Amino acid sequence: MPRNRQDKSALEPAGGPAEDGLAEGDRAPAFTLTQDDGTKIALKDFKGRNLVLYFYPKADTPGCTIEAIDFSAKRAAFAKAGTDILGVSADPVTAQAKFKTKHKLKIPLASDESKAMLEAYGAWGEKTMYGRKFMGVIRKTFLIDGAGRIVRVWPKVKVPGHADEVLEAARELPVS
């Protein structure tokens, strides 16, 4: 069932409202990043196609590997739904490339070492682990339509089953 862009509470089942202010119906912040193969990739490259933009803390760590493999395994199903996938972390391009090769990932990964794009999407912030606070990438996902509007936000991602949930939401969108 398509979500009503005016109903901000529609985000609640995905884990609550977006804490950074970006919400359903907002224009996705523009970006240009370097991807794992060294080429540039920008939001404008996805014009007319839906995009899953997912943020992950660190390449080649257990949760991030599972998430990347899940999205990669579902790439064809996302493509059939008219949706591309882009994973983003603050890791250097070389780490992204090594991660992609090691796990035979079929989706592009992009690097935001400056953290400017991560901050624009509210994916950079304070985290706590074992009682210690630190700054890092917050695992979250955005589904963006072909017009560059955010149609769904998952602000606090739990990896198991996440790619399936995002695919289900992508299938609800019109294919451009």
- Residues tagged active-site: 64
Q: Which of 36, 74, 35 is nearest to 52 (CA)?
A: 74
Q: Give the separation between CA 74 and CA 111, rounded to whole angstroms.
A: 22
DSSP structure string for 83-134: EEEEEEESS-HHHHHHHHHHTT--S-EEE-TT-HHHHHTT-EEEEEETTEEE
Q: Give the separation between CA 35 and CA 32, rounded to whole angstroms.
A: 9
Amino acid of residue 152: R
Helix (H/G/I), strand (E/B), else coil: 169: helix
Q: Give the separation between CA 91 and CA 102, rounded to whole angstroms.
A: 15
